[in-house]
Every structure is written in C-alpha cells, then in structure tokens.
Structure 1
Amino acid sequence: MGRKSPYRAEFRNDAVALYRAAGGKRTYAAVAADVGVTGETLRSGVRQAGEQAGGGNRDEPVAEGRDEELARLRAENGRLRRAEKEWELEREILRRAAQYFAKEMRA
C-alpha cells in the first residue's frame, strides 16, 4: 500500500474531473500543469478514481457533470489569476520603459 496523498480529497476529485472533462483531448501532463501537480500524480488519481467508481454505483450523473464543470472552472480561474499577475508585471515594465524614453526625448 502506498503513502497517503498530500492533497485534499476535494482537490484530487477536481483534478480528476478536469482531466475527464477534457475527453482525451489533453494529456495528463497538460492538465496536471494547469492544476499544479505532476502528470504521474494526476494519472494515479484518475486510476484510483476509476477503481473506486467500478465498485460503486453512479446514481447521480447530473451531479458528476456539475463536479466536472466545477473542476474545469476552478482550474480556468487559477490560470486566469496567474495570467493577470503576469500582465500586471508586463504593464509595470512597459510603464517604466515609457517614462524612461519620454525622459530621454525631453533631454
């Protein structure tokens, strides 16, 4: 038996749902990079979720669809927040460069 995962069950479920929502169009590594884990961690989580689902029943397919959508939206939200921080940094660099060149042109 392996060691206990450092990730919360909710986080693992969201990551698995995000991968499944991709419908095979994205690799483990691509989805894992969006979520912030390794590809192997995601692959193991998907495998474990499949084993658990095989023994259980799926009475609520609508809830499963909502979970997948929620996982996808959370991952997209994280990506957008990271991109916003990068854009803020780029704007600051451009603002300082514009000030520098404006000062050079006046001199």
Structure 2
Amino acid sequence: MARRVHHRRGLAGPAVLARPRLGQSPRPDRPATDRLRTSRQLPPRCRHGHRLGDLRHPLDRGHVPRVRPAQGKKKPRPRRSFTPEFKAEIVELCRRGDRSVGQVAKDFDLTETAVRDWLRQAEVDAGKRDGLTSSEREELAQLRRENRRLREDVEILKRATAFFAKETR
C-alpha cells in the first residue's frame, strides 16, 4: 500500500506516492526482503526526493549546476576597416541593380547593414539625401578629439593650480 508524502508546504496530492521504506518491496506484488536497497533498485535521492544528478533542484547541496551551451549566440565579428575605393566599388555594384544588397554583401562576406550604410553615405555625399557628408564627418571627429584633449589639459591645470595653492600656505 502506498502512502502519501508530507512536505513542508502541506500534503502532496494523491498522485505523488512515497518511495517504499527500507525493507519494503518497491512493488506490492513481490515479497519484501530484509536486505538494503541497492542502487539498481532505486537511485540515491536528495532531501527533496529528486535523484542526485537530476538537476531539478540546482540549489540543493550535492547537485552539480548545469552548464548550458550558448544557444544561438554568435561571436561578434572583429571590426574591419575598408578603403574608400572598396566601398565605392561595392556601392557601384549595388547601384547597377543586377544583384540585391543582400546578395552583394553575401558575395563579399560583408554585413548587409554595412553595405546599406555605405549606400546611404554615398547618397549624402552626392547631395541626393540630407545629412553630414564624409568630409564633414571627418572634420567633426577631429574637432571632438581636439575638444577632448583641451578639456583634459584644463583639468590637469586645475589640479596643478590647486596643488601649488595648497603648498604655498
């Protein structure tokens, strides 16, 4: 006869049956023996009743945490730089219209996004679309670098002034 399992949270449902006690037969139609359970009959279990190594209770002591392989995550492609001539050639291939942007990108092992960005930038440079031209972008990047360097110089001078003002007192 199977007995119900009492759990911390209350009585388990009638579908959950307890394991047989030591010396009881795991099957009621077979006679009980006085020998100890072997690992073949019932695997060792944790305090929650799960098989050891079953990993349903990862917080239980003695369980080995499951290491899941990365699913669907690709390694990011290293950043590559391309010459303006190469970009112009790719843009020209896309403008001809015999191949789609995706096909050109695939043929030259490029990302579709990069090719579309090159196309957009070429349209801006040609005056067909609003935005910053390539030369304006270069100038803006140079001015930002210079601005950052000047801010660092000012910060160093402020610290030096404070240091020497403290030293003269």
In which range does the TM-score fall when normalised by the shorter chain?
0.3 to 0.5
Question: TM-score, normalised on structure 1?
Answer: 0.41
Q: Choose between structure 1 and 2: higher helix proportion.
A: 1
Question: TM-score, normalised on structure 2?
Answer: 0.27
Structure possessing the higher relative contact order (Cα contacts under 8 Å, 6 or more residues apart): 1
Greater CA radius of gyration, 1 or 2?
A: 2
